[in-house]
Amino acid sequence: MIRLNTVVTLLAAAVCSGSVCAASLEYPATPRKSVSDTYFGTVVSEDYRWLEQSDSPEVKAWIAAQNALMRGVIDALPQRAAIKKELEGMLGGGRVTRRSFVFAGGKLFALKRQPPKNQAMIVVLDGHASLKSERMVLDANVLDPSGKTAIDWFEPSRDGKRVAVSLSKNGSEDGTLYIYDTASGKSLPDVVQRVQYPTGGGSVAWNADGSGLYYTRYPQGDERPQEDANFYMQVYFHRLGKPVMQDEYVLGKDFPRIAEIKLSSSEDGNYLLADVANGDGGEHAYFLRGNDANWLRIADYTDGFRNAKFGRDGRLYALGLKDSPRGRIVALKLDAPGAGLPAAAVVVSESDAVIESVVPTKSRLYVNYLAGGPSELRVFALDGRPMGTLGAEPVANINAGSRLAGDAILFGSQSFIRAFAWYAYDPAQRNAKPVKTRLSDAPIYAVNGAMPDVEVLREFAVSRDGTKVPVNILFRKGSKRDGSQPVLLTGYGGYGISLRPYFMRYAAFWLRHGGAFAIANLRGGGEYGQEWHHAGNLTRKQNVFDDFIASAQLLVERGYSARDRLAILGGSNGGLLMGAAMVQRPELFRAVVSQVGIYDMLRVELTPNGAFNVTEFGTVKDERQFKALHAYSPLHHVRDGVAYPALLLTTGEHDGRVEPWMSYKMTARLQTANPGGRPVLLRVASDAGHGIGTSLASVIDEDADVFAFLFAQLGMQ
């Protein structure tokens, strides 16, 4: 039985510092049922595998009990109500944002968010992105007033007359394809099931005349065994008005089980490109289809290409990383592809900064560069001749959002202390320069679009092997560095994803209440290119945790915080980071928030999306990789009697990317390891998944719980 009157004891313990405080929570009973596996002669045992059976009555009852405990504790915190009210003002105050722009048929399509509405809407503007021209195409909030239906992605036809949309419910990302008429907003009768799933995503590409579309398709009916239902993605073609059962197979029968396919078509509709990723480790193959309907493999998984895009000059542009880890841009003639991308002409050579992407326009290439976190947009002629640099902020995050007519583009700019804004740039205009648009409003918690009383320092921690790791620290001007300041540290370190300067609500909220916020650019990310990514994946994953621990030590050693004033937060792969850092250095942190995290590295590859991560994390089927996985797997390194930090784990029942039972098992193990220690709480949302497509109301509720927990643990007001 859960005794919620122990909350008073917890609150008394919450603000203790230094030694362990006995929270005296009575956790839900969790039976221990030992099972063992043997890997290359190593026997590995665990007690909570039964929690993987999420649909069983026993597990459902356990989840309900954990949620009841968490709610009783969090709701009793005196600041929780005020925190939620403040967050509602910050996030639900009517700020309009637009993103995911697609230019088609002389029109600009976008996803629009307008709080307090729970979900995004699809809108269309004219080719100049004039707000006066904006019209609604699809409002998911009208489609489903409960706020539980989300737009996964959309793709307009080449003439812009129709829009294909993937819709899913409850944050599941399990998408069904619908077609909408742009002018009327009405749906066509065509409905295609299972075009999108969290494992491999999904996409469509329209044919030249808009009479049909190519789409990604997961196995239907009994085509595959149940365990393969979310694998073996293939490409099919649907002609509008025809029964879906008559759709034609196009490509993919020979692709890997963990293939992730993204489709795109050339401007004239004569060429179709299939970007096929071999899981999530960064290996891509490319297949090109011309008017003759034949497919040509123009790059293999080991050739090191990604981010391929059709130009408007009869060429395909791509980012090449093999033998140039900071990247080069190549151009392939579509009518004479020859030996494919490996033999294509180099138009932009490797330089000192990392190339992330390219946007081709009529006569220019806009190339995104990254230098350890900050980025810039460099402009080149189609032959590679430099034509300057675009920017709006120093030390900013610049990204090309969409091409417009001619050589005009939209690009976004933000920094840690200046809010995101869209800029339009048209080199055809006299004295052309970037012009700030009103396509996205600044948050209401920004003052003139910024946080003027906040400064950013970029320090470098020294990791265990001597590698210097950037740590970006946001704090209020005039703050003392005497260890008294509560600091919230975050990081990610995986998949080559870079943590660029970003105006974050978490940082803004934390700073306005007297804390400092820190972001570490860890190995495993892409801040310094492929070498930085590869230094933190597969058997080198421990480097990521070493980097993060070194970043935390820097914050303490240089007086930004103290161990009893330091909290860490991360999600997904960042949740793995939280788990590993916590079990490896429990004395270094006062509190931990780990969201939708991965904790059992020996069984993750047995989950649908986990199989896609083998190329990033490794597999237990390889002895060397098993030893690396076992050496850091958070679940397997929890020790009885250790004084772990206070912990809040969050997950969603409909998460198709990281199985919720990862959080269940980690919670059970930690609660058992030190039942009299700091609190270990589990939050399971019944209307959410991995966080994508979650309603605004649910986002605010979770944020309120997170901050209430952290404020209590660090003694913040």
Residue pLDDT, tens place only, 540-588:
999 999 999 999 999 999 999 999 999 999 999 999 999 999 999 999 9
Q: Are residues 641 and 716 in the same domain?
A: yes
Name 317's Cβ contacts closer than 8 Å, sequence gap at least 6: 308, 309, 310, 311, 329, 330, 331, 332, 347, 358, 360, 365
pLDDT band at 12 (very low <50, low <70, confident <90, very high): very low
Q: Are residues 715 and 622 in the same domain?
A: yes
Kindly write down the DSSP assignment for every residue of 526-545, as one continuous string.
Answer: STT-HHHHHTTSGGGTHHHH
Is the pLDDT at 188 greater than 70? The verdict is yes
Higher pLDDT among residues 70 and 504, named by residue: 70
Query: Does 553 fall in a domain?
Result: yes
Q: Which residues of 505-517 are buried (b: 16+ CB within 10 A; e: fewer)?
A: ebbbbbbebebbb
pLDDT band at 10 (very low <50, low <70, confident <90, very high): very low
Cα–Cα dist 637/546, whole Å: 16
Per-residue confidence (pLDDT) for residue 128, from 0 to 100: 87
Name 377's Cβ contacts closer than 8 Å, sequence gap at least 6: 366, 367, 368, 369, 389, 390, 391, 398, 399, 400, 411
Beta bridge partners of 569: 490, 593
Per-residue confidence (pLDDT) for residue 444, from 0 to 100: 84
Is the pLDDT at 18 greater than 80? The verdict is no
pLDDT digits (tens, 9 = 90+) for 310-319: 999 999 999 9
Across the chain, what does the average pLDDT equal? 92
Provide the CB-side half-sphere exposure for 663 (13 A, CA).
34
pLDDT band at 186 (very low <50, low <70, confident <90, very high): very high
Q: Are residues 551 and 634 in the same domain?
A: no
Closest CA to 206 of 221, 190, 185: 190
Q: Are residues 367 and 484 in the same domain?
A: no
Q: Are strands 248-251 and 680-685 parallel, antiparallel or unpaired?
A: unpaired
**Do 166 and 215 touch, CB atoms closer than 8 A?**
no
Note the residue count of the chain. 717
Q: Answer with the one of 413, 445, 477 that is the final residue of a domain.
A: 445
Per-residue confidence (pLDDT) for residue 401, from 0 to 100: 79
- Find the CATH number of the domain harbouring 50: 3.40.50.1820
Per-residue confidence (pLDDT) for residue 581, from 0 to 100: 98
Higher pLDDT among residues 392 and 485, named by residue: 485
**Do 416 and 507 touch, CB atoms closer than 8 A?**
yes
Per-residue confidence (pLDDT) for residue 7, from 0 to 100: 34
Per-residue confidence (pLDDT) for residue 8, from 0 to 100: 31
Cα–Cα dist 408/429, whole Å: 9
Q: Are residues 625 and 708 in the same domain?
A: yes
Cα–Cα dist 205/213, whole Å: 6
Q: Which amino acid is at 332?
A: L
Clarify whether 100 is annotated catalytic. no
Closest CA to 539 of 460, 472, 625, 611: 625
Cα–Cα dist 424/414, whole Å: 14
pLDDT digits (tens, 9 = 90+) for 630-683: 999 999 999 999 999 999 999 999 888 999 999 999 999 999 999 999 999 999
Of 60-69, 362-371, 505-514, 688-697, the least confident: 688-697
Average of per-residue pLDDT across 167-172? 94
Alpha-carbon Rg for the chain, nearest whole angstrom, is 25
- Quote the domain boundaries for residue 639: 1-13+22-77+596-717
Per-residue confidence (pLDDT) for residue 373, from 0 to 100: 77
Q: Answer with the one of 561, 585, 618 that is the final residue of a domain.
A: 561
Kindly write down the DSSP assignment for every residue of 346-397, as one continuous string.
Answer: EEE---SSEEEEEEE-SSEEEEEEESSS-EEEEEEETTS-EEEEE-SSTT-E
Q: Are strands 566-571 and 591-595 parallel, antiparallel or unpaired?
A: parallel
pLDDT band at 3 (very low <50, low <70, confident <90, very high): very low
**Do 644 and 308 touch, CB atoms closer than 8 A?**
no
Overall domain count for the chain? 3
Q: Are residues 507 and 548 in the same domain?
A: yes
Cα–Cα dist 448/452, whole Å: 9
The catalytic residue among 166, 463, 572, 594 is 572
Name the residue with tokens 């043997």: 38
Q: Are residues 637 and 538 in the same domain?
A: no
Cα–Cα dist 683/151, whole Å: 25
Per-residue confidence (pLDDT) for residue 393, from 0 to 100: 63
SS3 category, 276: strand
Phi then psi dihedrals of residue 133, to 5 deg: -90, -5
Average of per-residue pLDDT across 509-529? 95
Of 24-28, 326-330, 567-571, the least confident: 24-28
Q: Are residues 647 and 701 in the same domain?
A: yes
Q: Are residues 405 and 439 in the same domain?
A: yes
Query: Does 638 fall in a domain?
Result: yes
Query: Does 651 fall in a domain?
Result: yes
Q: Are residues 503 and 388 in the same domain?
A: no
Provide the CB-side half-sphere exposure for 442 (13 A, CA).
18
pLDDT band at 392 (very low <50, low <70, confident <90, very high): low
pLDDT band at 394 (very low <50, low <70, confident <90, very high): low
Q: Are residues 391 and 423 in the same domain?
A: yes
Cα–Cα dist 380/349, whole Å: 11
Closest CA to 318 of 355, 358, 283: 358
Clarify whether 284 is annotated catalytic. no
pLDDT digits (tens, 9 = 90+) for 397-425: 888 878 898 999 999 999 999 999 999 99
Q: Reading across the β-sheet that carries 187-196, which strands appear in turn?
A: 149-156, 162-169, 175-181, 187-196
The catalytic residue among 168, 357, 690, 695 is 690
pLDDT band at 694 (very low <50, low <70, confident <90, very high): confident
Of 108-122, 176-190, 211-225, 380-394, the least confident: 380-394
Query: Does 288 fall in a domain?
Result: no
Q: Answer with the one of 380, 413, 445 that is the final residue of a domain.
A: 445
**Do 134 and 124 touch, CB atoms closer than 8 A?**
yes
Cα–Cα dist 625/471, whole Å: 29
**Do 320 and 330 touch, CB atoms closer than 8 A?**
yes
Average of per-residue pLDDT across 298-323? 96
Average of per-residue pLDDT across 148-163? 96
pLDDT band at 14 (very low <50, low <70, confident <90, very high): very low
**Do 195 and 235 touch, CB atoms closer than 8 A?**
no
pLDDT band at 17 (very low <50, low <70, confident <90, very high): very low
Query: Does 575 fall in a domain?
Result: no
pLDDT digits (tens, 9 = 90+) for 33-57: 999 999 999 999 999 999 999 999 9
Q: Are residues 499 and 537 in the same domain?
A: yes
Q: How many CB atoms lie within 10 A of CB 601?
A: 27
Query: Does 201 fall in a domain?
Result: no
